[in-house]
Amino acid sequence: MFYLLCFLIVVYVCYKVSFLIKIGKLHEKYVFITGCDRGFGRLLAVRLDKLGLHVFAGCLSDKAAAELTEQCSSRLNAIKMDVTKPSEVKNALRLVKKFLGDKPLWGLVNNAGIQNAVISFEWNTKDDYQSVLGVNLFGTIDTTLNFFPLIRKGKQGRIVNVSSLLGRFAANASPYVVSKFGVEGFSDGLSKEARVFNVTVHTIEPGFFRTNFNDGLEEKNMERWKTLPKDIKEDYGEEYLQQTLQMRKRFADNSSEQFDLVVDAMAHALTAKYPKERYVIGDDAKYFFVPLSYLPCKLQIWILEYRRKQKKIKFPQPACTEK
């Protein structure tokens, strides 16, 4: 038993040490990142630039591109690109090809994403789903389809897709959840196909972080409430709206501000010799929501309701169900 324990300890230590080994010649690697205007994408672009990699930073606005260019070294090239517009994706590809010449692209990071969902599934429209999927899922697919040949050309490389805890555990942000479950499926399928070219696929699954990602959602929900049919308003009630907004604000205020945890994972997926296939980030995701995702739905609901009662959080109830 003693020798078995020693063997397991040695295996565990070797496993952990393997993650510390980096690939060589980072200064010769080229990486394209989408969604670098702010948040994790911008932080990653700055991090990789400091590590010596050549970065192509896809930005939605000219202002963000100019700011990022000024902040980083000459190794970084900011490119204006909207992942929902095929013409801009093609133009970005043309610019990257021109810059690379005969050199391959080492990595692609599909980071661009939006959260545009309103409170209840019933309050969403088909357009809400299309706008969120257009960026989070179809933007990821289209960018990958265009840039994959540049990675495959080098006979090795990395694709990093930014998903979410909500790509493993469904909640009431229905369009966003659907988009991230799609990213998970796309990543898994792509991983199996890309391996024959020695290209690996890595999925980033952050928990809840207090970024500016949800800015403006409260206003959107208030505006949507005004446009709902009278019978829907009566069935839900304005108290339901206010309680849900308050609960979301409380939840957001308690979310993690350790943004480096996510950036560390993204950078590790690109620069480690032995990267992970999945990076689950944040204690909430690692120790609660992802384990919870393996349980039956009814059991998930029971645990969530029990947890809310323990914390004395009243779950918003539509007026029609209270009656």
Active site residues: 176
Q: Are 49 and 41 in contact (CB under 8 A)?
A: no
Number of H helices, E strands in the chain: 15, 7
Which ranges of 1-61 does DSSP label H, i.e. alpha helix?
2-18, 39-51
The conformation of residue 209, written as its DSSP 8-state character, comes to B
**Token pair 């391996």 is at which residue?**
195
Distance CA 323, CA 318 (A): 9
What three-state secondary structure class fits 55?
strand
Distance CA 204, CA 213 (A): 16
Q: Are 200 and 159 in contact (CB under 8 A)?
A: yes
Q: Are 203 and 140 in contact (CB under 8 A)?
A: no
Distance CA 309, CA 22 (A): 46
Distance CA 24, CA 271 (A): 8
Tokens of 267: 């950078």
- Please, which residues bridge with residue 200 across strands? 158
The conformation of residue 123, written as its DSSP 8-state character, comes to G
Helix (H) or strand (E) holding 222: helix 217-227
Distance CA 169, CA 288 (A): 10
For 175, 306, 308, the CA distances from 301, given in Å and listed in that order, are 20, 9, 11
- What is the distance of C-alpha 291 from the center of its chain? 19
Tokens of 16: 């952990």
